[in-house]
Amino acid sequence: MTPCAKKRRVPLEGDKKNPKKLMTSYQLYINGQFVDSTSKQTFDSINPFNQEIVAKVARANAEDAKLAIAAARKAFDEGPWPRMKREERAAMLKAISDKINERKKELTKLEVDDSGSTIRKAGEDIYLSARNMNYFSKLAAMELTEPLTELSKPGISQNIVVREPVGVVGAIIPWNFPLKMAIWKLGPALAAGNTVVLKPSELTPCTAIELAKIIHEIGFPAGVVNIVPGFGNEVGEEIVKNPMVDKISFTGSTAVGKRVMALAAEHLKKVTLECGGKSANIVLEDADLDLAVDGAMYAIFYHQGQCCEAGTRLFLPKKLHDEFIDKLIAKTKRLKLGDPKDPTTDLGPVISKKQQERVLGYVTKGKQEGATVAVGGNAPNDAKLAKGFFVEPTVFTGVKNSMTIAQEEIFGPVLSVIQYETEDEAVRMANDSIYGLGGGVWSKDKDRAMSVASKLRTGTVWINEWHLISEKAPFGGYKQSGVGRELGLEGLKEYTEAKHVHIDELGSRDKKPWYDTVVPK
């Protein structure tokens, strides 16, 4: 390992009480080297629980992005990675998985500090990051050539579809699942033989740079992976519009996804977009009530509601409504807000002051439009939580599907409860959304639940469950929730180009009468 690959420690500026206190400083990772930004600028990554500085991070700009892209371009065009034996690439990806597992305690703590994830949730994320990369390592070893056996009669030709890497991938990830989202992008892109420029969120950059250290330690060829933390208008836009980038993989809001798609269109780049959601959670009359209540809470309050496929709209039949709400409110009141490092904490802070204000603004809007706050609706009045960006778990009743809180993505712990009379009405309202990412149905009758699930215009539907996303299954959205799929074999193919190869077996001009249309005998 080169000296620059080690974690640097610098004095914490302005700490007069403890001038010797040290803090972490992170650099960019470009072309196999840890470097400062060309501008020498940095930004602070802030702990959303106590507003302490987690790390000082080199702030990449457009020039840094260009350097990273050039390195990735050269690594793809001239380097060994795309030409490496599948088994060798697979072994290097497996090594990433192993290293994440070796460092799981350290990475979990860093994820908690950087993102506000509870330690229970963060520990699961680190475990899944390693498991996901292990799966992608197995995909890397697969032969993706597909024979086309029915295209031609025997003796005339052989036909195959060869899957080849797209080239340079620009990957842009959000702040809610920092390490896991990095793995979701890097795993399939690298497995297919691509090189990558990854931009983590400026709000949660730390575990991505730790991942760069792992990659560096393993000995990936220079330029195969480049990680450039920075801001979207500086780094993100350069990655998306740069002509040397062949594909964009983006996870984030629908509004930014539209901007990404527009910029990528200039060069007709391949895009994978996983964008917003307003997922419908439908409880049928025959549902196990206690299970459905717990499931509805898990669907919306997991990670403070900061999940693209969170169950933000709960559809209840009128016959069950009052009993369900009583149980839901009673359990919601028992949820503990607190220090994310405390294993007894159920909900931590949202990611930033801006996000806290955004969520509470939606609460105000919901009340203005006539919905009723059944529980929550405020920042907690607790001195122990005063420095954190907390929002109480909030349940709205009396919501109409046309209300703002039922149509726009809030990305916080805010649930809209909507009553319905018939299943057809529930399905109609569920589909009355610009989004189509996730959905759920709760029923003791699996056939009945399947019938409802088949009518939902959404990329994933859970029956008597929520949030369980497997690395082996495709994940993505209908409508304005995105383009393409991540995960599974379908997700891997998003990082490839399909090439049809026709192999002649006739071997004689006389046996090719179609030549006669142009070429005389």
Contact indicator for 277, 309 with CB cutoff of 8 Å: yes
What DSSP string describes 297-356? HHHHHGGGG--TT---EEEEEHHHHHHHHHHHHHHHTTPPB--TTSTT-SB---S-HHHH
239 C-beta neighbours (distance < 10 Å), count: 31
Given 111, 202, 238, 274, the catalytic residue: 274
Nearest to 307 by CA among 405, 181, 126: 181
Cα Rg of the chain (Å, integer): 25
Q: For residue 254, which of 88, 407, 424 has the smallest C-alpha distance?
A: 407
Half-sphere exposure at residue 126, Cβ-oriented, CA atoms within 13 angstroms: 24
Whether 206 and 48 have beta carbons less than 8 Å apart is answered as: no
Residues 6+ apart with CB under 8 A from 135: 187, 471, 472
Amino acid at 323: E
CA–CA separation, 154 and 283 (whole Å): 55
CB of 468 closer than 8 Å to CB of 462: yes
**Residues in contact with 500: Cβ distance below 8 Å, sequence separation at least 6, in sequence order:** 148, 159, 160, 161, 162
Spatial separation of the C-alpha atoms in residues 521 and 515, rounded to whole Å: 9
Coil/strand/helix, residue 171: strand
Burial category of 518 from C-beta neighbours within 10 Å (exposed 0-12, middle 13-18, buried 19 and up): exposed
Lookup: tokens for 446: 């699996």
Tell me the C-alpha to C-alpha distance, in Å, between residue 344 and each of 335, 338, 510: 10, 8, 80
275 is catalytic: no
Q: Which of 308, 309, 409, 423 is catalytic?
A: 308
| Residues 154-170: b if buried by 16+ CB within 10 A, e if exposed | eeeebbeeebebbbbbb
Would residue 274 show up in a list of annotated catalytic residues for this protein?
Answer: yes
Query: Which residues lie closer than 8 Å to 521 by C-beta, 6 or more apart?
Result: 509
375: β partners: 395
Query: Considering only CA atoms, which of 248, 142, 124, 239 is closest in space to residue 193?
Result: 142
| Residues with active-site annotation | 274, 308
